[in-house]
Amino acid sequence: MQTFSVDEKGYYGEFGGAYIPEILHKCVTDLQYAYLDILESEQFKRDFHALLRDYVGRPSPLYFSQQLSDRSGARIYLKREDLNHTGAHKINNTIGQILVARQMGKTRIIAETGAGQHGVATATVCALMQMPCTVYMGKTDVERQYVNVKKMEMLGATVVPVTSGNMTLKDATNEAIRDWCTHPEDTHYIIGSTIGPHPYPDMVARLQSVISKEIKVQLAEKEGRDYPDYLFACVGGGSNAAGTIYEYLDNDNVKIVLAEAGGKGVDSGESAATIQLGSIGVLHGCKTLLMQTEDGQITEPYSISAGLDYPGIGPIHANLASQKRAQVIAVNDDEALKAAFELTKNEGIIPALESAHALAALEKIAFNPTDIVVLTLSGRGDKDLETYFAQIDKD
């Protein structure tokens, strides 16, 4: 039987594993030994679900979109992660991981962030749990993301601008790993997506799987069956997609469509279409598909959407793509922008630019009229207003 879950060594097919410096060996193996028992303990489940309900605002609605259905020729539902506290799915993971950290006796949290969304979600739960929080962020990103930096500081986090390399996400990640190496005893590193060394991809996927657990219940109520014909999600590192598909991986009736960021075009040299352009390598602790030069230097990715602008892809998704369990579609900047403006005008929902990539992918599939489609709207568009307004001024 084919399985898409992680094996005991932390691999999904040929992808995954834990490629870490010796000094982190103990932190990572401690987490490997502890995480499943913690996630499956009654106390964790109680605390996690209480916070998801009363603090995050779950379950997030499953909204039937008449407009999208008419346009696409299928029955289209939106899973509204944009309505969560802090505006995206990322909070599901940070709440779960801070509870894991507390259970493991950790007293300090670190994180890295690119656009600042994961930094804000981490700073938020650190304020909630009264834990000190340090967020590493490339200096270029600090300058580009003024509002998120100020939010993190207001929430009580220390934001450290990183001046090495290109001063963006991968440099911030290196710095966070360096911090973890020097404080392995008291510090938990909250990784924001289904990336990093085992057990992070599996842990994050399990924490985000609340998305597909809710879809099952909500679809059963609305359609009389608990699975759709198609699931759509955008992929940066892959966490909202992993949460969306988790409960359906072994159900062959459910087709999976992942939208990655084509940027200015897959062959333009300015793209973040990792699955199409990537080759196998090791990044941030796991073996996966990466955008790299022939001699293994990471290529700087590009997308209009900061959350999809990552040179790697989670090992779960690298495996799903290589096994052909998931279909991967590259969506370019202009297509995502168009889909975002259409959803705004037709439904009164301003989506995050990341989520707009999944919306644009709807147009690339020929549906049957009876098909049931669930698309995860990973976040709201407040953080992208400047980009949207610049586009309006251009038109």
Ligand X SMILES: *Cc1c(COP(=O)(O)O)cnc(C)c1O
User: What residues are annotated to the active site?
Assistant: 90, 112, 378
Q: Which of 114, 133, 135, 117 is nearest to 125 (CA)?
A: 133
Q: Are 157 and 142 in contact (CB under 8 A)?
A: no
Torsion angle, alpha carbons of 259, 260, 266, 271, to 10: 150
Residue at 115: amino acid letter = A
Work out whether 173 is an interface residue with ligand X (CB under 6 A).
no
Alpha-carbon distances of 190 from 21, 118, 201, 278, 331, rounded to whole Å: 18, 9, 12, 25, 29
Q: Token match 């898409």: residue?
A: 4
Contact flag: residue 235 with ligand X (CB under 6 A): yes
Name the residue whose CB lies closest to ligand X. Answer: 379
Q: Which residues ranging from 31 to 90 are in contact with ligand X (CB under 6 A)?
A: 88, 90
Instruction: Decide: is 120 part of the binding site for ligand X (CB under 6 A).
Output: no
Do 106 and 187 touch, CB atoms closer than 8 A? yes
Would you say 65 or 239 has its CB closer to ligand X? Answer: 239
Rounded CA separation 152/268 (Å)? 35
Q: 75 or 87, CB closer to ligand X?
A: 87
> From the list 113, 122, 239, 244, which residue makes contact with ligand X (rule: CB under 6 A)?
239
Q: Of the listed pieces 172-180, 238-246, 292-300, 325-333, which binds ligand X according to CB under 6 A?
A: 238-246
* Beta-carbon count within 10 A of 202 CB: 22
Give whichever of 315 and 379 is closer to ligand X, judged by the CB atom.
379
Q: 294 to 313, contacts with ligand X by CB under 6 A?
A: 307-308
DSSP assignment of 286-343 equals EEEEE-B-TTSPBPPP--SSGGG--SB--HHHHHHHHTTSEEEEEEEHHHHHHHHHHH
With CB under 6 A as the contact rule, which of the stretches 129-137, 232-240, 334-342, 366-374 interacts with ligand X? 232-240
Is residue 124 within the footprint of ligand X (CB under 6 A)? no
Q: Which is nearer to ligand X, 17 or 201 (CB)?
A: 201
Task: Write the binding mask 335 to 364 for ligand X: x where contact by CB under 6 A, - elsewhere.
Answer: -----------------x-xx---------
- Touching ligand X, residues 174-193 (CB under 6 A): 193
Binding site for ligand X (CB under 6 A): 88, 90, 117, 193, 234-241, 307-308, 352, 354-355, 378-379
